[in-house]
Structure 1
Amino acid sequence: MSPNSQPAAAPPPPAEALRVLSFDMARGERFGEHEHDVHQLVWTPAGVLTVDVGDHSWVLPPSLALWIPAGVPHATGATRPSQMRSVYVAPDRCPVRWAQPTVVAVGPLLRELVIHLADPDLAPDPKSRAEAVLFDLLRPVGVMTIELPMPADVRALRVAQALLARPADPRPLEAWGREVGASARTLARLFAAETGMSFGRWRTRARLRAGLEHMAANRPLAAVAHHVGYTTPSSFIAAFRQETGRTPGAYFAVPQQRRP
């Protein structure tokens, strides 16, 4: 499979509500923007996935999955070697009615159900029972993800792309303005109008998103904080908690779920 090829949607057979397929993804591999006629639950049991929908992006460690409704264009990538488990769900047999991409927590039971349902030899009756439990476990997670919309103006976009490449760069807007040919006031206005947040908050999110990807690779927290521009781990943790509602450790923790 080429780095930019798109996985087939593989809709379930008429008598089944869902089908699970696995895709091995190398670091940096990406499925370009595409859409499916079926709903999709994107999850990795090992690794880190990113999913982009329009200007929004989600970083998914094994403790989180993303529900993508049918017909929503999206692109999926891997920031490290990963195995994507895609659960494709027939809309007419699905009790979940979410109209927008929705993050769900993946606890031990949901994890094992996805693996169980991937078995091609699973008989129809056990499969139907497992599907019903899986749907019951799909509940929105009470945590914000680190979304990072990009500006459209070419000058602001150059700044954004430079910060994604080097998130620890401390230069203020005045210095960036001299580099891209715009005043600090113009850049501040562009970031606010085109990303919905101030330049300072956008840079904070860029740093936290980069940090999330490094933490998923099991780098020490102190090294991660320094790499993305924070002088101490505590300052990184405080910023991370303010944006996501959780500490980095809690963000990666696998929630405990009970069968309903």
Structure 2
Amino acid sequence: MNIENRTIDPQVHVGYVVDADRPVLTLTSERKASELVSKHSHLRGQLLFAIRGAMKATTDDGAWLVPPSQALWIPPGVMHEVEMAEAVSLRSVYIDPSYVEALPDECCVVRVSALLKALILEAAAIGNDYQPETAEARLMLVILDQLKKIERFPLYLPFSSEPRIHRVTDSMIANPADNRTLAGWAVEIGASERTLGRLFIRHLGMSFGAWRRRLRLLESIDRLGNGASVTEVAYELGYGSPSAFIAMFRENLGVPPARFFSDQR
């Protein structure tokens, strides 16, 4: 797949405008499939939100899958890149640094409620030239109140530069269906099973098994969103049966795949 690389220009991008009188600024853009917005950061916090299409955002610490109906909160100053596997219709929101204290200090995928979505669309329609103490400015403050209530989702895959961990996780990313046990990987990298298990906890904050399940969850959402069937995805990701895959999906997201994508639509 040929990836088209795009860059961000700080001179014109709203993410670099610091203005406490305009706490919320918005950006509407249409992104093509196979497009990559190269690594950058903003002075403002960003709620990366698309009304159509899924994205993957990556930092030095990990990767987040962002399907429609959900968004990625990116605090000010966090370097990130964003890849569009399909066409994406963006309605991003940028929060002035003076208003981010009550918001998460780390990247996280969050649910966009019907109310928050309506507010974002209205803010995008209003534009960025509103004045303080107006009805438009008050609507922007309601967006800030809604962001303080955001519900996080487990669509994050942590990375580590620790050489042994990096070797295992890179191999599993290349082949999510690899069913080797922790003991099998320990032999592969020349460490004991106990040592490798401790490395996963220390550097990734989760066990080997939990990390692999998270990888497969993100991969499954990506593949299902691109039209693959539940049965195809289950076997492609190393599950012995579709029912085992559905059980994993439900355990992590609370609903089976069909319901998850139905809710997004």
Say whether the fold is shared (TM-score over 0.5). yes
Equivalent of 1:230 in 221, 227, 239: 239
Code of the residue aligned with 1:43 in structure 2: it is F
Match of 1:59 in 2: 65
Return the alpha-carbon distance in structure 1 between the equivalents of residues 254 and 110 of structure 2.
15
Task: After TM superposition, list the pairs within 5 Å mapping 1:3-42 onto structure 2.
Answer: 3=5, 5-6=7-8, 8=13, 9-11=15-17, 15-42=21-48
Structure 1 residues 96 and 189, CA gap change in structure 2 (3 angstroms): closer
Q: 2:88 aligns with which of 72, 82, 85?
A: 82
Greater RCO structure (CA 8 Å; 6+ sep): 1
2:96 & 2:81 partners in 1: Cα distance? 20
Any conservation in 1 of the 2:60–2:159 contact (CA below 8 Å)?
no
Aligned partner of 1:134 in structure 2 is 143
1:43 Cα deviation (Å)? 0.5
Matches within 5 A, 1:90-105: 90-92=96-98, 94=99, 97-100=102-105, 101-105=107-111
Report if the CA contact (8 A) 1:188-1:199 is conserved.
yes
SS of the aligned residue for 1:97 comes to coil
Contact 1:103 / 1:141 at 8 angstroms: preserved in 2? Answer: no
Deviation per CA, 1:87-144: give whole Å up to 9, x if none: 112233x487214235432233332332332236687345324323333432544453
Following superposition of structure 1 onto structure 2, how do residues 101-116 of structure 1 map, counting pairs within 5 Å? 101-116=107-122
What is residue 258 of structure 1 aligned with on the other side?
none
Please point out which of 55, 64, 67 is paired with 1:49: 55
Give the direction of change, closer, same or farther, for the CA distance of 1:132–1:22 in structure 2 (3 Å limit).
same
Gaps of 5+ in 1: 256-260
Q: Which residue of 2 aligns with 1:248?
A: 257
Per-residue CA distance 1:50-77 (angstroms, 9 max, x = gap): 2334424321111111222323333332
Q: Give me the whole-angstrom Cα distance separating, in 1, the residues matched to 2:150 and 2:261.
A: 13
With 200-209 and 22-31 compared, the bigger mean Cα shift is at 22-31
Matches within 5 A, 1:100-179: 100=105, 101-119=107-125, 124=130, 125-179=134-188
- Aligned residue for 1:219, secondary structure, equals coil
- Contact 1:12–1:88 (Cα < 8 Å) also in 2: no
TM-score, normalization by structure 1: 0.80
Cα distance change on mapping 1:6 and 1:183 into 2, 3 Å = farther
Give the aligned residue type for 2:229.
P
Identify the residue that residue 220 of structure 1 maps to in structure 2.
229
1:175 to partner: Cα distance:
4.0
TM-score of the superposed pair, with normalisation by structure 2: 0.79
Whether contact under 8 Å (1:208, 1:228) holds in the other structure is: no
**In structure 1, distance between residues paired with 2:226 and 2:259:** 16
SS of residue paired to 2:155: coil
Aligned to 1:207: 216
Structure 2 CA distance for partners of 1:86 and 1:144, relative to 1, 3 Å: closer
Task: Give the equivalent residue in structure 2 for 1:195.
Answer: 204
Give the conservation status (yes or no) of the 8 Å contact 1:11–1:18: no
Identity of aligned residues (%): 32
Consecutive unaligned residues of structure 2, counting only runs of 5 or more, are none
The answer as to whether partners of 2:108 and 2:152 remain within 8 angstroms in 1 is no
